[in-house]
Homo-oligomer: A and B are copies of this chain.
């Protein structure tokens, strides 16, 4: 199949597919005489793998590491485990930050009833301090 069909089947945009290829996350496909990319079905699995990783917010560099690890099926999976643990730690950290943000924003919002001038607005006062 050509890239347009792969794009529709996978739900990835054409540019993203080409970008993933450039970054080494997809193997380079064959080309037609006219230089069009020509994919076989195996690339769909690769692309799904990448998409699944991205949905977990794993960086492209880490996805590449995972792909490299996948190609060494005999080795220990401890690196895989470490990578996921690190990703989890990142998510936990961001969640903490977001909770703090949420608290402060909520408190700020509660000081404003929208029925005021900017000069007297509690939100602006909070932001000024």
Contact = CB atoms under 8 A, between A and B. Distances in A.
A20 to B, nearest CB: 15
B99 A95 contact: yes
A35 interface: no
Contacts of A116: 76-77
A63 to B, nearest CB: 9
Interface of A is mostly: helix
Contacts of A102: 88, 91-92, 95
Interface residues of A, number: 52
A112 B74 contact: no
A127 interface: yes
A90 to B, nearest CB: 9
A51 B32 CA distance: 54
Rank and list the top 10 A-B pairs by shortest CB-CB distance, nearest first: A77-B121, A73-B119, A78-B114, A81-B114, A88-B105, A77-B118, A81-B112, A77-B116, A95-B98, A91-B102
Interface of A: 45, 48-49, 52-53, 56-57, 66, 69-70, 72-78, 80-82, 84-85, 87-88, 91-92, 94-95, 98-99, 101-102, 104-106, 108-109, 112-121, 123-124, 127-129
